[in-house]
Structure 1
């Protein structure tokens, strides 16, 4: 779980969290999830990859998040595919659902200057050696 202390600078003129910050916090939760597994750079080096990149992201906002809130973001692996992993997120303030989100990510490699989505099974195996959430 990733904890975010929401501040005034995270909010728009209406006083609620500016929606791009939600996606920034999803990315933080993703990298916090990778950290005990070696972190993004280490995993990419071990897999000869250039990144675990975002393919798709979407969110549903359920309640406003405001200055002073402590946001708890949980990440769950929904599905491992051949070339993608689907991640689900829930953001809660004081136990109340503030947003739900989903990302689809891929493992990207480069060959002769071409970037491509590689099969993701090796990443899945590395992640599972430390445990999924």
Structure 2
């Protein structure tokens, strides 16, 4: 089966979001190690671990979506809903460029997730053989 262009674009959007989270985690780690004031050191470490884990999860979603598996569609949709939830207040809070940088790719990703070509291509089930 030929990989549709929509799945490639969708995978790239999700991978770019994962990369942005990885950059944010790196910036956060630099701030944490240079002595930026925090209320709770272990809370800041927990936040850093969450950023890294969510970035790794999004990279996995992008990779397996590109390969045509079924489960990453739900993960990609949840991630886009989170981005939209953060993007609207960012846009209306006076940070138009940052808000649009979040909203536009997320909106495109949501539209692409429901295209017929994406749904038919990304419908492969898991890979384990039957138990019996």
Which TM-score tier does this pair reach, normalised by the shorter chain? Answer: under 0.3
Considering fraction of residues, name the structure with more helix.
Answer: 2
TM-score by length of 2: 0.27
Higher strand proportion, which one?
A: 1
Name which one, 1 or 2, has greater alpha-carbon Rg.
2
